[in-house]
Structure 1
Amino acid sequence: MVETGTGTLPTYTETLPRIPESARTARRLVDLALTVWDMNEVRDAAEMVVSELLANAVHHARCESVRLTVTRLSDSRVQVSVVDRSRAHPRRRAAGSMEESGRGLGIVNALAHGRWGVDSLAWGKRVWADLEVTSGE
């Protein structure tokens, strides 16, 4: 994992293979960043968010790797993002009660309190979610 942020916001970033097993590594990287920044209150939410974003990239993107980035936006806000080379944007949908998939972005939306989105890139996209430490957590 690389820590960047010289002159910018504190950031950890890593390129991971686009395989389901990368979710475990992604959760560990998020956990490490949050520990260093003393933002443990959002750990569970951030680990779930990164798992869902990575699962979408693994399932839908057609590249060999994805880029995970964890950025401390402030003392109480962190952003988790996954970049892949697919230009297709994810869409929230209502999954049927018997469907095994289709709930991930609804979970991300709930955990991020609606603060998530997709940035188009010339060669792909960046899907991100902001999480906030609150006094009630």
Structure 2
Amino acid sequence: MPGTESNEPDESWEYSLSLPNDLRAVTVSRRTLRLILTVHGLIRLVDVAELLAAELVSNAVCHAKGPAALRVCWSAGVLRIGAWDADPQPPGPPHSFEQALDLEGGRGLALVRACSDLWGWQPLTRDGSRGKYVWCELAGVA
């Protein structure tokens, strides 16, 4: 019906949220992601997606100087969550989950690798700033 919103999860969509270099951006990102997934009928993905977004955004604001951004996309039954930061250096290799348990820091990418179906990174320029985009995917099918 024209003019009505659809909550069908098979429709493609994308959201982007610009973030300051501030640790409070992690909370803002998690709450925004929860709202996005809820309104699109993907509540079953919220808990894992929030964890993944928090790790990606935390890395972006803790390890890079300058702004960051969260990008959330849904297409063909796959949720992609990514964080851009202004540091063009690649992320360090993730530790295994078992190794990460013994570390005080450095668990973020190990959690991303363990909890997502696929993850990666790529160099990416945003608003004229060189940087990188670290992303992960979750299959939306239960």
Q: Could you say which residue in structure 1 is the equivalent of 2:14?
A: 11
Supply the AA of the counterpart residue of 2:116: A
Partner of 1:72: 74
CA distance in structure 2 between the aligned counterparts of 1:33 and 1:111, rounded to whole angstroms = 20
Amino acid at match of 2:89: A
Root mean square deviation of aligned Cα: 1.7
After superposing on structure 2, the runs of 4+ consecutive aligned residues of structure 1 that deviate more than 3 Å are none
- State the partner residue of 2:110: 106
Alignment partner, residue 24 of structure 2: 21
Q: Which amino acid aligns with 1:80?
A: I
SS in 1 for 2:133: strand
Distance (Å, rounded) in 2 between the aligned partners of 1:126 and 1:9: 20
CA distance in 1, matches of 2:101, 2:31: 31
TM-score by length of 1: 0.83
Code of the aligned partner of 1:103: R
TM-score of the aligned structures, taking structure 2 as reference length = 0.80
Query: What CA deviation, in whole Å up to 9, does each residue of 1:1-49 have, x standing for no partner?
Result: xxxxxxx941111101111111110001111111121111111111000
Measured after TM superposition, the shift of residue 95 of structure 1 is 3.6
What residue in structure 1 maps to residue 135 of structure 2? 128
Amino acid at match of 1:133: G
Gap regions ≥5 residues in structure 1: 1-7
The 3-state SS of whatever aligns with 1:58 is helix
Identity %: 31
In 1, Cα distance between equivalents of 2:12 and 2:91: 26
Match of 1:31, SS? Answer: helix
**1:71-90 deviations in Å (ceiling 9; x for gaps):** 1122x311111111101111
Q: Per-residue deviation at 1:107?
A: 0.5
Shift of 1:134: 3.6
- For structure 2, the 5+ residue unaligned runs are 1-10
Name which one, 1 or 2, has greater alpha-carbon Rg. 2
